[in-house]
Structure 1
Amino acid sequence: MSKYLLNKFLFTVDRDPELVERYREDPAATVAMWEDAYANRLLNCVQEESSTWLRLEEAERAALVAHDYPALFELGAHPFLTLTLFIAMFERDHGPMGFQTEYARRVAHISMPYPDIAT
């Protein structure tokens, strides 16, 4: 399992408003496109500098496609990266602080110490 790649997805998608909307509307296609186009691209480098071997694990891919942020958190996704992306996608569907409250409720079953978020 690659917590690095999982967190890289959250980081890169959250920083591109078009990708945020695409991920909200069609998560399966967005995850597949991102894995093909971005997964092996080095952060902050030109596209020509890339690797060829990074792929999401099936559990990571399934959680991303399902927008299952509790599962992502359990898989080791950084909670701040997860929260900021899902706020960008779903805050508009809730009242003030509504999504943050829902996020907290859905991850409340995870007790300290939290899953390791080191990459």
Structure 2
Amino acid sequence: MSKYLLNKFLFTVDRDPELVERYREDPRGTVEWWEADMANRILNCHSGEASTWLRFEEVERTALSTHDYPKLFELGAHPFLTLTLFIAMFERDHDGLGFQLEYARRLSHLTLPYPDIAT
């Protein structure tokens, strides 16, 4: 499992409004495309350098493909990255702080110590 790769996905998608919408509308397709085309690109590198070994494990791919942010948190994805991305995708479907409250409710089964988010 790669917390780095999970966080890289959340970070890069959250910073591109078109990718946010793509991920909202077609999560599985977006995850498959991102894993094939973007996962091995080196962040902030515009020279074409890339690695070749990064891949999601099935549990990670499934959690991303189903917008399962509680599972992503359990897997060690950074909670700030999950919260900001999922707010961008789903805040419009709720009134006021409705999505943030839903996020908290769905994570309420977790107790300290939280999963390790170090990468």
TM-score computed with the length of structure 2 as normaliser: 0.99
User: For residues 28-43 of structure 1, what are the structure 2 equivalents within 5 Å?
Assistant: 28-43=28-43
Residues 41-50 or 78-87, more deviating: 41-50
Is this contact kept in 2: 1:41–1:47, CA < 8 A?
no
* Equivalent residue, structure 1, for 2:18: 18
Shift of 1:34: 0.4
Percentage of identical aligned residues: 77
TM-score computed with the length of structure 1 as normaliser: 0.99
Distance 1:65 1:38 in 2: 16
CA deviation profile, 1:62-108 (whole Å, cap 9, x unmatched): 00001000000000000000000000000000000000000000000
Shift of 1:116: 0.1
- Number of residues of Structure 1 aligned to a counterpart in Structure 2: 119
Distance 1:16 1:32 in 2: 17
Distance 1:42 1:87 in 2: 26
Q: Flag the 1:47–1:57 CA change in 2: closer, same or farther, 3 A.
A: farther
* Equivalent residue, structure 1, for 2:111: 111
Shift of 1:48: 1.0
RMSD between superposed Cα atoms in Å: 0.6
Can you give the 5+ residue segments of structure 1 that lack an aligned partner in the other structure? none
Report the AA paired with residue 17 of structure 1: P
Secondary structure, aligned partner of 1:92: helix
Structure 1 residue ranges (4+ consecutive) displaced by more than 3 angstroms after TM superposition: none
* Equivalent residue, structure 1, for 2:58: 58
